[in-house]
Amino acid sequence: MLRGKERDQVEVYDVINYRLLRRLIVPNIRRATDMTSCEHYRCVYIADDGVECIHRLNVQGAFTRWAVNDEPSGLSVNAAHNLLVTCTDVRKVKEFSSHGDLLRELTLPDDVINPLHAIQTRNGEFSVCHGNRDDPVHRVCKVSADGRYVIKSHGGQRGSDIGQYNGPRHLAVDNNEFVFVADVDNRRVTLLSPTLDYIGQVVSRDDPTLEWYPVRLCMDIRRRRLYVVENELFKEGVWTAGRVVVFSV
């Protein structure tokens, strides 16, 4: 878990009893936007849109960083163990090796405005969520492997009804490629099929377990646990409080 403090730190917790094990210092982070891990290379990646870079931190605490040359938003790791970086303003997904070599970059279709997070499926396609608060369209899309066209989508006009979103910000995918969507301003997590058909709400705004706004998701496939990062109100450029809530799925 990443915390912004006077010295930015990654906190490492035991997955059984959630006991804090240690803190790792990551120097010179300006403004972290997302974090993901790679089991294969035993490291975590942190997106920093303040200096347009990725910080890489391994289990021994050694760190490196490399430039993205655009503001990074969401992060994910694909089946080839490469890092996918979603760059919101330029509508791109950039693929890097674990050591920062740019392998390719895809420009998403014109109607995928302000993409926030992308995850690559086993057949090479991408699940992408997009839509900031002022955008007319808020949805989750299945985008072709070359990034050129939308195959299918769920959502549309911003709203709170079933089939609508109000800030679809982050995704998680299980081993069967069902898609979990953090719908921030609706304060819920929606579950979609691999073909983006609506299944239901894993967490609703009426769930007493969730107090604030779900902004990040992480799926533990082996234990069937969904980690939901929820933050309190966004004030003066910072979240005022936050925590991780764990759900069995």
Q: Can you tell me which residue has the tokens 């799926």?
A: 219
The two structure tokens encoding residue 229: 């990062």
The two structure tokens encoding residue 120: 């690559």
pTM score, whole prediction: 0.92
Q: Can you tell me which residue has the tokens 């799925």?
A: 249
Question: What pLDDT score does 238 carry?
Answer: 61
Each residue of 170-183: b (16+ CB within 10 Å) or e?
A: bbbbbeebbbbbbb
Closest by CA to 187, choosing from 172, 157, 208, is 208
The two structure tokens encoding residue 216: 């990040």
Three-state DSSP class for 139? strand
C-alpha angle 94-239-2 in degrees, rounded to nearest 5: 55
Question: What pLDDT score does 42 carry?
Answer: 93
- How far is 80 from 108, CA to CA, in rounded Å? 21
Question: What pLDDT score does 208 carry?
Answer: 81
Q: What are the phi and psi torsion angles at 114 (to 5°)?
A: 55, 60
- How far is 79 from 64, CA to CA, in rounded Å? 22
The two structure tokens encoding residue 116: 């926030």
Question: What pLDDT score does 232 carry?
Answer: 83
Q: How many CB atoms lie within 10 A of CB 246?
A: 15
Q: What is the pLDDT along the chain (249 residues), one digit of tens a residue?
A: 666 554 567 888 888 888 988 887 787 888 888 999 999 999 999 999 889 999 999 888 788 999 999 999 999 999 999 999 999 999 999 999 999 999 999 999 999 999 999 999 999 999 999 998 889 999 999 999 999 999 999 999 999 998 999 999 999 999 999 999 999 999 999 999 999 999 999 988 888 888 888 999 999 988 899 999 888 866 555 666 778 888 888
Question: What pLDDT score does 178 carry?
Answer: 96
Question: In what order do the strands lie in the sheet containing 102-107?
Answer: 75-77, 83-87, 92-96, 102-107
* β-pair type (234-235, 242-248): unpaired
Side-chain half-sphere of 87: how many Cα atoms within 13 Å? 22
Q: Could you say which DSSP state residue 82 is in?
A: P
Closest by CA to 110, choosing from 145, 142, 150, is 150
- Domains, the chain, in order of start with CATH, read 2-181 (2.120.10.30)
Question: What pLDDT score does 222 carry?
Answer: 87
C-alpha angle 249-189-68 in degrees, rounded to nearest 5: 105
- Determine contact, residues 137/150, Cβ cutoff 8 Å: no
Question: What pLDDT score does 4 carry?
Answer: 59
